[in-house]
Amino acid sequence: MPKRAANDWWKTFFGPLAGLVMFEPRSERSEREADIVLRRTRVRPGARVLDLGCGTGRISLILAARGYGVVGLDYSPHYLREAKARAKKLGLERRVRFVRGDMRRAAHHVGGGEFDLVVSLFNSFGYFARRADDAAVVRQVFRTRKPGGVFVLNTLNERGVIERTRTPQRRGEETLKNVFMLDHFDYDRRRRRTEGRWTIVDVRAKRPKIARLRLRQNVYTHAALRRMLRAAGFRIERVWGLWDGKPFTPRSWHQTIMARKPRAARR
């Protein structure tokens, strides 16, 4: 049996080559993803937004350019350096701030009761070894939000994962010109988590770069994720499937839930 990902795999996984295959192919669709979130949440320019697991600032910078006050929280120092460099190049340093930290302590890093909107997009949820830590993240998000604020959470949907992985998934593609990726993906139904192995080969320069990475992610049924959000104090308002706005069905690969902190709620 292949070696499994370490409990804290997320601390070292998100380096330059992983970011290259994750973010660059999505750059053209990022504006549409931001449009969907803003249209459905109805959060107006000038509002405060927390981008949880912001990566290289793909969504943070779009929102900042549209007049929102944005904080991006991520653990990867490489991605945060890139995000800050992009903000400076675009002249957005005053509208966006990038912070390094563990999302299980989000309120400590970015403040409690500060945000009108919190987004966790592009499947950035469920990375911790203990499911209790996932619930802790949701509680932290509740603390960071102003009463009446909105949380948009995107992650995998268990039934859709089971449907897609009845046999182990093996995929190879050229994600960018001369950048190749092999993706081995399985679902452990007993532990209810994905197990993945990525091999990324970058041959754009004379000396190739190779990364061999392992990852895993906790997977939730739609009902279980709704229960987690409600237990933290949220009120569920809307659901869709992929982050690009497609409708949610029980067999959807992804689930995106929009939840609101009641106006009468305390931090």
Burial 256-267, CB ≥16 within 10 A → b, else e:
bbbbbbeeebee
- CA-to-CA separations, 213 to 9, 105, 177, in angstroms, rounded: 9, 26, 21
C-beta of residue 118 within 8 angstroms of C-beta of residue 3:
no
Q: Which residues contact 221 (CB under 8 A, 6 or more apart)?
A: 157, 158, 159
Residues 253, 164: Cα–Cα separation, whole Å: 8
Rounded to the nearest 10°, the torsion over CA 91, 73, 173, 31 is -50
Q: What is the CATH number of domain 161-217?
A: 2.20.25.110
pLDDT digits (tens, 9 = 90+) for 97-125: 999 999 999 999 999 999 999 999 999 99
Residue 169 corresponds to which amino acid?
Q
How much is the pLDDT for 267? 53
- pLDDT for residue 1 is more than 60: no
Q: CB count, 10 Å around CB of 85?
A: 12
Percent pLDDT > 70 in the chain is 98
Percent pLDDT > 90 in the chain is 88
- pLDDT for residue 243 is more than 50: yes
C-beta of residue 231 within 8 angstroms of C-beta of residue 135:
yes
Confidence of residue 34 (pLDDT cuts 50, 70, 90): very high
Q: Find tokens 């409708």 and name the residue.
A: 247
Q: Which fold has domain 10-157+221-260?
A: Rossmann fold (3.40.50)
Which of 134, 130, 131 lies closest to 52, judged by CA? Answer: 134
- pLDDT for residue 21 is more than 80: yes
Domain spans in the chain, listed from the N-terminal domain onward: 10-157+221-260, 161-217
Q: CB count, 10 Å around CB of 222?
A: 18
